[in-house]
Amino acid sequence: MKKFTLLIITLFSLNNFAQQSVAPDPTKELGVWYMYNGSHQVSDKFSLKTMAHFRFFEVGDDMQQFIGRLGGNYKFNKTLSATVGYAFLNTDRTFNVDASDFNEHRIYEDLNVNHKIASLNLAHRFRGEQRFFESTTGNFFRYQLALGHPIDEKWSTYLYNETFLDFEAEAYNQNWFGAGFKYKVSDIVKLQAGYQLIHVNEVGNFNRIQLGVAISTDHRK
């Protein structure tokens, strides 16, 4: 009986150790992004673009990444504009594990093309990013196609897809697909709620809820 009890305790201990030794899988969690995006018109041609995102592995817990952007946008005409800016990122590469995070600095350049087909708004964004982190440099090219459609004076819906190409490693890096709704509180404030599927090459898929606020100001007045 004592040998049997000892065997049960040993097997239980080994099973418990095996469970603890298995690394947690972030692809099985539903995460959330809390987002702020700002556009501040300074002149007829020039505006400032601001952004702050707090991105979590889980809803309200275990922050994966903070990213802030600041850029200057020049509007050539109603269809075409360009942005140049700087981004700071603080990223935790691990999920549910105490490990050191790392900081990253980026310079980015956007070419934005906006047009309409009937009531459908189309936005193309071509983005180049130069990355500086942990004594390493890298380069991304990103293309995003976004579609927007008004529902009424307050509500609208959106759909987008963005593909990342990496010039330093395997060309296809990741893809973001998202959809959701926007609500116009006023001419200055809009709210956003949606869902995003992130596919990272050789890692897997990440499911994210998006909750955001967009603020647009006009300083020409």
CA–CA gap between residue 141 and residue 128 (Å, rounded):
5
Is residue 8's pLDDT more than 60? no
Helices (H), the chain: 2-21
Q: What is the pTM of this model?
A: 0.85
How confident is the model over 167-181, as pLDDT tens digits? 877 788 899 999 999
Report, at the CATH architecture level, how domain 29-218 is classified.
Beta Barrel (2.40)
- Other Cβ atoms within 10 Å of 64 Cβ, number: 21
Sequence-distant (≥ 6) Cβ neighbours of residue 198 within 8 angstroms: 174, 175, 176, 205, 206, 207, 208
Is residue 94's pLDDT more than 90? no
Q: Where do the domains of the chain lie?
A: 29-218
How confident is the model over 179-207, as pLDDT tens digits? 999 999 999 999 999 999 999 988 899 99
Bridge-based pairing of strands 155-166 and 172-184 is: antiparallel
Nearest to 192 by CA among 30, 35, 39: 35
CA–CA gap between residue 126 and residue 112 (Å, rounded):
7
Amino acid letter, residue 178: G
